[in-house]
Structure 1
Amino acid sequence: MPHFIDTIKLADGNYKLIDYHNRRVNDTIRHFFGAGFEINIKTIMPAPDEYKIGTYKCRLVYAKRVDNIQITPYVKRTITKLKIMDSDEIDLPSGCKPLNYEFKYKDRTCINCFLSGLDDTTDVLITRNGLITDTSFSNVILFDGQKWITPNTCLLNGIKRRYLLDKGDIEEKKISTVDLPYFQKISLINAMLEPEDIEIKISSII
Protein backbone atom coordinates (compact mmCIF):
# COMPACT_ATOMS: atom_id res chain seq x y z
CA MET A 1 0.00 0.00 0.00
CA PRO A 2 1.54 3.35 -0.99
CA HIS A 3 1.96 5.98 1.68
CA PHE A 4 2.00 9.72 1.19
CA ILE A 5 3.16 12.79 3.07
CA ASP A 6 1.80 16.29 3.43
CA THR A 7 3.81 19.11 4.95
CA ILE A 8 1.93 22.01 6.52
CA LYS A 9 3.40 25.29 7.69
CA LEU A 10 2.56 26.16 11.30
CA ALA A 11 3.54 29.78 11.87
CA ASP A 12 2.85 31.77 15.03
CA GLY A 13 0.07 29.42 16.07
CA ASN A 14 -1.69 29.17 12.69
CA TYR A 15 -1.80 26.33 10.19
CA LYS A 16 -1.23 27.94 6.79
CA LEU A 17 -3.33 27.07 3.71
CA ILE A 18 -5.00 24.25 5.64
CA ASP A 19 -7.95 24.05 3.23
CA TYR A 20 -5.57 23.50 0.31
CA HIS A 21 -3.82 20.73 2.24
CA ASN A 22 -7.12 19.12 3.19
CA ARG A 23 -8.17 19.09 -0.46
CA ARG A 24 -4.89 17.53 -1.62
CA VAL A 25 -4.96 14.81 1.03
CA ASN A 26 -8.50 13.84 0.10
CA ASP A 27 -7.85 14.01 -3.65
CA THR A 28 -4.99 11.57 -3.10
CA ILE A 29 -7.06 9.25 -0.90
CA ARG A 30 -9.92 9.15 -3.41
CA HIS A 31 -7.54 8.45 -6.30
CA PHE A 32 -5.81 5.50 -4.65
CA PHE A 33 -8.42 4.10 -2.26
CA GLY A 34 -11.78 5.30 -3.56
CA ALA A 35 -14.58 7.30 -2.00
CA GLY A 36 -15.53 6.66 1.60
CA PHE A 37 -12.12 7.23 3.18
CA GLU A 38 -12.15 11.03 3.14
CA ILE A 39 -10.99 12.80 6.28
CA ASN A 40 -11.02 16.35 7.57
CA ILE A 41 -7.45 16.90 8.64
CA LYS A 42 -8.44 20.08 10.47
CA THR A 43 -10.16 17.92 13.10
CA ILE A 44 -7.07 15.79 13.83
CA MET A 45 -4.30 18.39 13.79
CA PRO A 46 -2.59 18.99 17.15
CA ALA A 47 -3.80 22.12 18.92
CA PRO A 48 -1.38 24.92 17.95
CA ASP A 49 -1.43 26.58 21.39
CA GLU A 50 2.13 25.58 22.26
CA TYR A 51 3.43 26.79 18.88
CA LYS A 52 2.38 30.44 19.08
CA ILE A 53 5.87 31.80 18.45
CA GLY A 54 8.02 30.76 15.51
CA THR A 55 7.65 28.55 12.46
CA TYR A 56 7.18 24.80 12.58
CA LYS A 57 6.98 22.00 10.04
CA CYS A 58 3.97 19.73 10.48
CA ARG A 59 4.42 16.44 8.62
CA LEU A 60 1.52 14.06 8.02
CA VAL A 61 2.04 10.47 6.88
CA TYR A 62 -1.09 8.83 5.52
CA ALA A 63 -2.66 6.18 3.32
CA LYS A 64 -6.35 5.39 3.89
CA ARG A 65 -5.98 7.29 7.16
CA VAL A 66 -3.41 9.52 8.80
CA ASP A 67 -0.82 7.27 10.44
CA ASN A 68 1.48 9.85 11.97
CA ILE A 69 1.70 13.60 12.64
CA GLN A 70 5.04 15.12 13.58
CA ILE A 71 5.75 18.77 14.39
CA THR A 72 9.34 20.03 14.42
CA PRO A 73 10.96 23.49 14.38
CA TYR A 74 11.47 24.62 10.81
CA VAL A 75 14.98 25.29 9.54
CA LYS A 76 15.16 26.75 6.05
CA ARG A 77 17.69 25.19 3.70
CA THR A 78 20.41 27.36 2.17
CA ILE A 79 20.40 26.81 -1.60
CA THR A 80 22.66 29.01 -3.74
CA LYS A 81 22.94 26.99 -6.96
CA LEU A 82 20.80 24.73 -9.13
CA LYS A 83 22.10 22.01 -11.44
CA ILE A 84 20.03 21.11 -14.48
CA MET A 85 19.44 17.37 -14.93
CA ASP A 86 17.08 15.85 -17.47
CA SER A 87 15.09 12.87 -16.23
CA ASP A 88 15.48 11.17 -19.61
CA GLU A 89 19.26 11.38 -19.52
CA ILE A 90 20.25 10.16 -16.06
CA ASP A 91 20.36 6.55 -14.89
CA LEU A 92 17.10 6.09 -12.98
CA PRO A 93 15.86 2.75 -11.60
CA SER A 94 13.44 1.01 -13.94
CA GLY A 95 10.50 1.78 -11.65
CA CYS A 96 11.22 5.50 -11.97
CA LYS A 97 10.83 5.69 -15.75
CA PRO A 98 9.04 7.70 -16.90
CA LEU A 99 9.49 9.98 -13.89
CA ASN A 100 6.11 10.54 -12.23
CA TYR A 101 5.59 12.50 -9.02
CA GLU A 102 2.01 13.66 -9.49
CA PHE A 103 1.27 12.64 -5.91
CA LYS A 104 3.41 13.39 -2.85
CA TYR A 105 4.73 9.91 -2.13
CA LYS A 106 6.51 9.13 1.12
CA ASP A 107 8.99 7.04 -0.89
CA ARG A 108 11.28 9.57 -2.57
CA THR A 109 13.71 7.07 -4.09
CA CYS A 110 13.21 8.37 -7.63
CA ILE A 111 13.68 12.02 -6.67
CA ASN A 112 16.71 11.28 -4.50
CA CYS A 113 18.50 9.73 -7.50
CA PHE A 114 19.08 13.27 -8.77
CA LEU A 115 20.95 14.39 -5.65
CA SER A 116 23.98 12.13 -5.85
CA GLY A 117 27.19 14.16 -5.81
CA LEU A 118 25.56 17.51 -5.02
CA ASP A 119 26.70 19.55 -2.02
CA ASP A 120 24.31 20.88 0.61
CA THR A 121 23.94 24.29 -1.06
CA THR A 122 23.15 22.90 -4.53
CA ASP A 123 19.86 21.37 -5.58
CA VAL A 124 18.73 19.85 -8.85
CA LEU A 125 16.53 21.61 -11.39
CA ILE A 126 14.78 18.67 -13.02
CA THR A 127 13.87 18.87 -16.70
CA ARG A 128 11.96 16.54 -19.00
CA ASN A 129 12.69 16.78 -22.71
CA GLY A 130 14.33 20.12 -22.03
CA LEU A 131 11.33 21.57 -20.19
CA ILE A 132 11.68 22.96 -16.66
CA THR A 133 9.76 21.06 -13.97
CA ASP A 134 10.72 21.30 -10.26
CA THR A 135 13.64 21.03 -7.86
CA SER A 136 13.95 18.01 -5.58
CA PHE A 137 11.80 19.65 -2.90
CA SER A 138 9.97 22.58 -4.45
CA ASN A 139 8.13 24.09 -7.35
CA VAL A 140 9.80 27.03 -9.06
CA ILE A 141 8.76 30.46 -10.28
CA LEU A 142 10.89 32.63 -12.56
CA PHE A 143 10.99 36.44 -12.78
CA ASP A 144 11.31 38.08 -16.20
CA GLY A 145 11.61 41.63 -14.91
CA GLN A 146 7.87 42.25 -14.84
CA LYS A 147 6.08 39.13 -13.68
CA TRP A 148 6.61 35.75 -12.05
CA ILE A 149 6.00 32.67 -14.21
CA THR A 150 5.80 29.01 -13.19
CA PRO A 151 6.39 26.12 -15.60
CA ASN A 152 3.23 24.33 -16.75
CA THR A 153 5.22 21.08 -16.74
CA CYS A 154 5.71 20.73 -12.97
CA LEU A 155 6.10 17.23 -11.53
CA LEU A 156 3.93 18.03 -8.51
CA ASN A 157 1.30 20.76 -8.43
CA GLY A 158 2.26 21.99 -4.99
CA ILE A 159 0.15 23.84 -2.44
CA LYS A 160 1.94 27.21 -2.63
CA ARG A 161 1.95 27.01 -6.43
CA ARG A 162 -1.82 26.43 -6.50
CA TYR A 163 -2.39 29.27 -4.04
CA LEU A 164 -0.31 31.79 -5.97
CA LEU A 165 -2.01 30.84 -9.24
CA ASP A 166 -5.45 31.20 -7.64
CA LYS A 167 -4.47 34.66 -6.35
CA GLY A 168 -3.18 35.71 -9.75
CA ASP A 169 0.28 36.45 -8.33
CA ILE A 170 1.98 34.15 -10.85
CA GLU A 171 1.31 32.96 -14.40
CA GLU A 172 1.76 29.52 -15.90
CA LYS A 173 3.45 28.72 -19.21
CA LYS A 174 5.89 26.35 -20.87
CA ILE A 175 9.51 27.15 -20.00
CA SER A 176 12.46 25.34 -21.54
CA THR A 177 16.13 25.52 -20.65
CA VAL A 178 16.77 27.74 -23.69
CA ASP A 179 14.36 30.29 -22.20
CA LEU A 180 16.38 30.74 -19.00
CA PRO A 181 18.51 33.70 -20.23
CA TYR A 182 15.30 35.71 -20.62
CA PHE A 183 14.72 35.56 -16.86
CA GLN A 184 16.50 37.41 -14.06
CA LYS A 185 16.05 35.01 -11.17
CA ILE A 186 14.34 31.86 -10.01
CA SER A 187 12.55 31.34 -6.70
CA LEU A 188 11.84 28.07 -4.90
CA ILE A 189 8.35 27.69 -3.43
CA ASN A 190 6.60 25.03 -1.40
CA ALA A 191 4.26 24.87 1.59
CA MET A 192 7.06 26.12 3.84
CA LEU A 193 8.72 28.58 1.46
CA GLU A 194 7.43 32.00 0.45
CA PRO A 195 8.50 33.37 -2.96
CA GLU A 196 11.14 35.66 -1.42
CA ASP A 197 12.71 33.02 0.85
CA ILE A 198 15.08 31.37 -1.66
CA GLU A 199 15.89 33.44 -4.73
CA ILE A 200 18.70 32.37 -7.06
CA LYS A 201 20.24 34.28 -9.94
CA ILE A 202 19.84 32.65 -13.34
CA SER A 203 23.64 32.76 -13.66
CA SER A 204 23.80 30.34 -10.70
CA ILE A 205 21.95 27.64 -12.65
CA ILE A 206 24.59 25.25 -13.98
Structure 2
Amino acid sequence: MSLYPTFETLSIIDGVVQNLEYHQARFENTMRTFFKKTPDIQLVALIKVPEEYRVGQIRCRIDYNHEAFEVKYFPYTPKEIRTFQCVYVEGLDYRFKYSDRQCLEKLKTEAADEVIIINNGFVSDCTIGNLLFLKQNQWYSPTHFLLKGTQLSYLLAQNQVCLTEISVVDLSSFEKVMMINALNPFDEKRAISVKQIRL
Protein backbone atom coordinates (compact mmCIF):
# COMPACT_ATOMS: atom_id res chain seq x y z
CA MET A 1 0.00 0.00 0.00
CA SER A 2 1.15 3.55 -0.75
CA LEU A 3 2.54 5.72 2.03
CA TYR A 4 -0.40 8.00 1.24
CA PRO A 5 -3.37 5.76 0.33
CA THR A 6 -5.82 8.62 -0.25
CA PHE A 7 -5.73 12.09 -1.76
CA GLU A 8 -7.70 15.21 -2.58
CA THR A 9 -7.49 17.22 -5.79
CA LEU A 10 -8.48 20.86 -5.49
CA SER A 11 -8.93 23.66 -7.98
CA ILE A 12 -7.25 26.95 -7.13
CA ILE A 13 -8.19 29.99 -9.21
CA ASP A 14 -6.18 33.18 -8.81
CA GLY A 15 -4.94 31.92 -5.45
CA VAL A 16 -8.41 31.03 -4.11
CA VAL A 17 -9.31 27.40 -3.31
CA GLN A 18 -12.64 26.40 -4.87
CA ASN A 19 -15.38 24.49 -2.96
CA LEU A 20 -13.09 24.07 0.04
CA GLU A 21 -15.90 23.11 2.44
CA TYR A 22 -16.80 20.09 0.28
CA HIS A 23 -13.19 18.90 0.14
CA GLN A 24 -12.95 19.34 3.90
CA ALA A 25 -16.13 17.30 4.41
CA ARG A 26 -14.89 14.46 2.19
CA PHE A 27 -11.48 14.50 3.87
CA GLU A 28 -13.10 14.29 7.31
CA ASN A 29 -15.35 11.43 6.19
CA THR A 30 -12.31 9.54 4.85
CA MET A 31 -10.45 10.10 8.11
CA ARG A 32 -13.37 8.77 10.17
CA THR A 33 -14.46 5.93 7.91
CA PHE A 34 -11.27 4.73 6.22
CA PHE A 35 -8.58 5.60 8.77
CA LYS A 36 -10.84 5.29 11.86
CA LYS A 37 -9.45 8.55 13.19
CA THR A 38 -11.10 11.76 14.36
CA PRO A 39 -10.00 14.49 11.93
CA ASP A 40 -8.20 17.43 13.51
CA ILE A 41 -6.74 19.16 10.47
CA GLN A 42 -8.16 21.95 8.31
CA LEU A 43 -7.02 21.50 4.71
CA VAL A 44 -6.75 25.26 4.28
CA ALA A 45 -3.89 25.23 6.80
CA LEU A 46 -1.90 22.93 4.48
CA ILE A 47 -2.30 25.02 1.34
CA LYS A 48 0.38 27.63 0.72
CA VAL A 49 0.08 28.59 -2.94
CA PRO A 50 3.49 29.43 -4.45
CA GLU A 51 3.79 32.91 -5.97
CA GLU A 52 4.11 31.55 -9.51
CA TYR A 53 0.76 29.75 -9.18
CA ARG A 54 -1.38 32.64 -7.96
CA VAL A 55 -2.73 33.65 -11.37
CA GLY A 56 -5.15 31.48 -13.35
CA GLN A 57 -6.27 27.94 -12.53
CA ILE A 58 -3.95 25.39 -10.99
CA ARG A 59 -4.35 21.87 -9.61
CA CYS A 60 -3.48 21.21 -5.98
CA ARG A 61 -3.01 17.60 -4.90
CA ILE A 62 -2.94 16.64 -1.23
CA ASP A 63 -1.81 13.06 -0.62
CA TYR A 64 -2.39 11.88 2.93
CA ASN A 65 -2.61 9.09 5.46
CA HIS A 66 -3.86 9.11 9.04
CA GLU A 67 -1.15 11.50 10.20
CA ALA A 68 0.95 12.92 7.35
CA PHE A 69 0.34 15.06 4.27
CA GLU A 70 2.13 15.90 1.04
CA VAL A 71 0.95 18.94 -0.95
CA LYS A 72 1.87 19.58 -4.59
CA TYR A 73 0.84 22.17 -7.17
CA PHE A 74 0.58 21.74 -10.95
CA PRO A 75 -0.44 23.84 -13.95
CA TYR A 76 -3.81 22.68 -15.27
CA THR A 77 -5.18 22.29 -18.78
CA PRO A 78 -8.74 20.92 -19.04
CA LYS A 79 -9.22 17.68 -20.95
CA GLU A 80 -11.59 18.05 -23.89
CA ILE A 81 -14.08 15.18 -24.06
CA ARG A 82 -15.96 14.73 -27.34
CA THR A 83 -16.63 10.97 -27.22
CA PHE A 84 -17.42 8.36 -24.57
CA GLN A 85 -17.12 4.56 -24.65
CA CYS A 86 -19.10 2.39 -22.22
CA VAL A 87 -17.02 -0.19 -20.35
CA TYR A 88 -18.58 -2.93 -18.26
CA VAL A 89 -17.40 -4.08 -14.82
CA GLU A 90 -18.76 -5.87 -11.77
CA GLY A 91 -18.19 -4.94 -8.15
CA LEU A 92 -15.90 -1.96 -8.72
CA ASP A 93 -15.27 -0.12 -5.43
CA TYR A 94 -13.82 3.39 -5.37
CA ARG A 95 -15.82 4.87 -2.50
CA PHE A 96 -12.77 6.72 -1.19
CA LYS A 97 -10.41 8.81 -3.32
CA TYR A 98 -7.67 6.18 -3.42
CA SER A 99 -4.17 7.07 -4.63
CA ASP A 100 -4.02 3.66 -6.31
CA ARG A 101 -6.17 4.25 -9.40
CA GLN A 102 -5.20 1.12 -11.34
CA CYS A 103 -8.76 -0.17 -11.23
CA LEU A 104 -9.82 2.95 -13.16
CA GLU A 105 -6.78 3.44 -15.38
CA LYS A 106 -7.07 -0.06 -16.86
CA LEU A 107 -10.57 0.77 -18.11
CA LYS A 108 -9.37 3.53 -20.42
CA THR A 109 -9.51 2.92 -24.14
CA GLU A 110 -8.12 4.56 -27.26
CA ALA A 111 -11.54 4.17 -28.88
CA ALA A 112 -12.87 7.32 -27.17
CA ASP A 113 -11.75 10.36 -25.21
CA GLU A 114 -13.20 8.98 -21.98
CA VAL A 115 -15.17 5.98 -20.72
CA ILE A 116 -18.51 5.61 -18.98
CA ILE A 117 -18.18 2.92 -16.34
CA ILE A 118 -21.14 0.54 -16.21
CA ASN A 119 -20.81 -1.05 -12.78
CA ASN A 120 -23.11 -3.99 -11.96
CA GLY A 121 -25.31 -3.01 -14.89
CA PHE A 122 -25.74 0.65 -13.94
CA VAL A 123 -24.11 3.86 -15.12
CA SER A 124 -21.66 5.17 -12.50
CA ASP A 125 -18.80 7.59 -13.31
CA CYS A 126 -16.00 8.12 -15.80
CA THR A 127 -12.35 7.70 -14.79
CA ILE A 128 -11.84 11.38 -13.89
CA GLY A 129 -15.16 12.55 -12.49
CA ASN A 130 -18.89 12.26 -12.10
CA LEU A 131 -21.34 12.36 -14.99
CA LEU A 132 -24.41 14.51 -15.58
CA PHE A 133 -27.18 13.76 -18.05
CA LEU A 134 -29.72 16.24 -19.43
CA LYS A 135 -33.37 15.42 -20.01
CA GLN A 136 -36.11 18.02 -20.57
CA ASN A 137 -34.12 20.89 -19.03
CA GLN A 138 -33.26 18.88 -15.90
CA TRP A 139 -29.78 17.57 -15.13
CA TYR A 140 -29.42 14.15 -13.51
CA SER A 141 -26.50 12.21 -12.08
CA PRO A 142 -26.37 8.44 -11.50
CA THR A 143 -27.40 7.16 -8.08
CA HIS A 144 -24.71 4.49 -8.44
CA PHE A 145 -21.71 6.85 -8.56
CA LEU A 146 -18.36 5.32 -7.58
CA LEU A 147 -17.12 8.39 -5.71
CA LYS A 148 -19.22 11.36 -4.66
CA GLY A 149 -17.21 14.23 -6.07
CA THR A 150 -17.07 17.65 -4.47
CA GLN A 151 -18.60 19.32 -7.53
CA LEU A 152 -21.49 16.82 -7.49
CA SER A 153 -22.00 17.45 -3.77
CA TYR A 154 -22.13 21.19 -4.45
CA LEU A 155 -24.63 20.85 -7.31
CA LEU A 156 -26.88 18.59 -5.22
CA ALA A 157 -26.80 21.09 -2.35
CA GLN A 158 -27.79 23.85 -4.81
CA ASN A 159 -30.63 21.69 -6.22
CA GLN A 160 -29.13 22.00 -9.70
CA VAL A 161 -28.92 18.23 -10.14
CA CYS A 162 -31.08 15.24 -9.17
CA LEU A 163 -29.83 11.71 -8.52
CA THR A 164 -31.51 8.92 -10.47
CA GLU A 165 -30.80 5.29 -11.32
CA ILE A 166 -29.52 5.02 -14.90
CA SER A 167 -29.07 1.76 -16.76
CA VAL A 168 -27.38 1.37 -20.14
CA VAL A 169 -30.72 1.23 -21.95
CA ASP A 170 -31.70 4.52 -20.32
CA LEU A 171 -28.82 6.43 -21.89
CA SER A 172 -30.63 7.07 -25.17
CA SER A 173 -33.50 8.75 -23.29
CA PHE A 174 -31.21 11.65 -22.36
CA GLU A 175 -30.11 14.51 -24.58
CA LYS A 176 -26.65 15.48 -23.35
CA VAL A 177 -23.85 14.24 -21.11
CA MET A 178 -21.26 16.25 -19.16
CA MET A 179 -18.26 15.28 -17.03
CA ILE A 180 -17.73 17.25 -13.82
CA ASN A 181 -14.99 17.22 -11.22
CA ALA A 182 -13.23 19.63 -8.88
CA LEU A 183 -11.34 21.21 -11.77
CA ASN A 184 -14.22 21.11 -14.25
CA PRO A 185 -17.35 22.64 -12.69
CA PHE A 186 -20.80 22.68 -14.24
CA ASP A 187 -20.66 24.38 -17.65
CA GLU A 188 -23.26 23.59 -20.30
CA LYS A 189 -20.78 24.55 -23.01
CA ARG A 190 -18.85 21.37 -22.18
CA ALA A 191 -21.90 19.10 -22.56
CA ILE A 192 -22.05 16.87 -25.63
CA SER A 193 -24.81 14.86 -27.29
CA VAL A 194 -25.47 11.38 -25.91
CA LYS A 195 -25.11 10.25 -29.53
CA GLN A 196 -21.37 10.51 -28.85
CA ILE A 197 -21.65 7.62 -26.37
CA ARG A 198 -20.61 4.26 -27.80
CA LEU A 199 -22.30 1.38 -26.03
Q: Distance in 1 between matches of 2:21 and 2:157?
A: 13
From 102, 109, 118, the counterpart of 2:110? 118
Write out aligned runs for 1:163-174 (5 A): 163-174=154-165
In the alignment, residue 56 of structure 1 is paired with which amino acid?
I
Residue in 1 aligned with 2:186?
195
* Conservation of the 8 A alpha-carbon contact between 2:37 and 2:66: no
Residue in 1 aligned with 2:141?
150
Give the CA deviation at 1:47: 4.1
| RMSD (Å) for aligned C-alpha atoms | 1.7
User: Cα 1:48–1:14, aligned 2, differ >3 Å: closer, same or farther?
Assistant: farther
Q: Distance in 2 between matches of 1:80 and 1:47?
A: 32
* Conservation of the 8 A alpha-carbon contact between 1:29 and 1:38: no
Q: Distance in 1 between matches of 2:84 and 2:34?
A: 33
In the alignment, residue 17 of structure 1 is paired with which amino acid?
N
From 74, 78, 81, the counterpart of 1:79? 81
In the alignment, residue 203 of structure 1 is paired with which amino acid?
K
Q: Deviations over 1:129-184 (max 9, x none)?
A: 32110001110010113110011000001100000000101111111111112111
Q: Percent identity?
A: 29
Residue correspondences, number = 195
* Conservation of the 8 A alpha-carbon contact between 2:46 and 2:71: no
From 4, 7, 23, the counterpart of 1:5? 7
* Conservation of the 8 A alpha-carbon contact between 2:88 and 2:121: yes
Residue in 2 aligned with 1:185?
176
Q: Which runs of 5+ in 2 are unaligned?
A: none
* Conservation of the 8 A alpha-carbon contact between 1:60 and 1:66: no
Q: Distance in 1 between matches of 2:181 and 2:10?
A: 10
Secondary structure in 2 matching 1:127: strand
Could you list the runs of 4 or more consecutive aligned residues of structure 1 that deviate by over 3 angstroms after TM superposition?
47-52
In the alignment, residue 150 of structure 2 is paired with which amino acid?
I
